[in-house]
Structure 1
Amino acid sequence: MEIFDKELLSKIDNELNKYVEKDNTLYNASKHLLFAGGKRIRPYLATLTYMLKKDNLDEILPPAVAVELIHNYTLIHDDIMDNDDERRGRTTVHVEYGEPIAILAGDLLYAKAFEAISNIKDPKKAHEVLKALSKACVEVCEGQAMDMEFEDRDKISLDDYFEMISKKTGALIIAPIEIGAIMAECTDEERNALYEYAKRIGMTFQIQDDVLDLIGDNKKIGKPVGSDIREGKKTVIVLHALENLPNNKKERLLKILGNNNATDEEIKEAIDILGDSINYAKNIMKNATEEAKNYLKIFDAEKRKRLEAIADFIMDRVY
Structure 2
Amino acid sequence: MGGDESKALPAAAAIEVFHTWTLAHDDIIDSDKRRRGQPTLHEEFCRRGQEELMLGAKDAKHYGLSVAILTGDLQHGWSVSLLAELTNKYGLSPQLSLRLIEELNTYVTCNLLSGELLDIQYSKLPVESLREEDILSMLWKKTAVLYEFAGRAGAMIGLEVSEPHHPLVQALSLFASRCGLAFQLQDDILGIVGDEEKLGKSVGSDIREGKKTTIVYYAFKKATAEQRRYLRGILGNKRATEGRVREVADLLVELGAVERTRSLAERYVADAIEHLQKIPDSRYKQLLATWAEYIVCREF
Name the TM tier (shorter chain). 0.7 to 0.9
- In 1, are the aligned partners of 2:20 and 2:72 still within 8 Å (CA)? yes
- Cα deviation 1:192-222 (Å, max 9, x = unaligned): 2222212211110110010001111101212
CA distance in 2, matches of 1:300, 1:224: 41
CA distance in 2, matches of 1:129, 1:143: 21
How do 1:232-251 residues align onto structure 2 when only pairs under 5 Å count? 232-251=210-229
- In 1, are the aligned partners of 2:152 and 2:170 still within 8 Å (CA)? no
Match of 1:268, as an amino acid? R
How do 1:49-88 residues align onto structure 2 when only pairs under 5 Å count? 52-54=1-3, 56-88=4-36
2:239 to 255, 258, 261: 261
CA distance in 2, matches of 1:230, 1:239: 16
Q: Which residue of 2 aligns with 1:206?
A: 184
1:216 to 194, 203, 217: 194
C-alpha displacement of 1:285: 1.1
Max Rg structure: 2
CA distance in 1, matches of 2:211, 2:184: 13
- In 1, are the aligned partners of 2:86 and 2:97 still within 8 Å (CA)? yes
CA distance in 2, matches of 1:216, 1:301: 35
- In 2, are the aligned partners of 1:230 and 1:262 still within 8 Å (CA)? yes
Match of 2:291, as an amino acid? I
- In 1, are the aligned partners of 2:151 and 2:172 still within 8 Å (CA)? yes
- In 2, are the aligned partners of 1:170 and 1:202 still within 8 Å (CA)? yes
CA distance in 1, matches of 2:24, 2:80: 18
Alignment TM-score, normalising by the size of structure 1 = 0.81
In structure 2, the residue corresponding to 1:120 is in which secondary structure?
A: helix
- Cα deviation 1:34-66 (Å, max 9, x = unaligned): xxxxxxxxxxxxxxxxxx322x23311111111
How do 1:139-288 residues align onto structure 2 when only pairs under 5 Å count? 139-154=111-126, 155-185=129-159, 188-275=166-253, 276-288=256-268
- Cα deviation 1:143-162 (Å, max 9, x = unaligned): 00000000111211111101
Return 5+ residue gaps in structure 1 as ranges: 1-51
Q: Which residue of 2 aligns with 1:126?
A: 97
CA distance in 2, matches of 1:223, 1:299: 36
Return 5+ residue gaps in structure 2 as ranges: 46-63, 88-92
Deviates more, 1:250-259 or 1:140-149: 250-259
Alignment TM-score, normalising by the size of structure 2 = 0.85
In structure 2, the residue corresponding to 1:119 is in which secondary structure?
A: helix
Match of 2:173, as an amino acid? Y
Q: Which residue of 1 aligns with 2:42?
A: 94
Q: Which residue of 2 aligns with 1:312?
A: 293
- Cα deviation 1:56-78 (Å, max 9, x = unaligned): 23311111111111100111111
Identity among equivalent pairs (%): 32
- Cα deviation 1:220-254 (Å, max 9, x = unaligned): 21222211111111111001111221212121111
Q: Which residue of 2 aligns with 1:42?
A: none
CA distance in 1, matches of 2:97, 2:187: 32
Q: CA RMSD in A?
A: 1.4
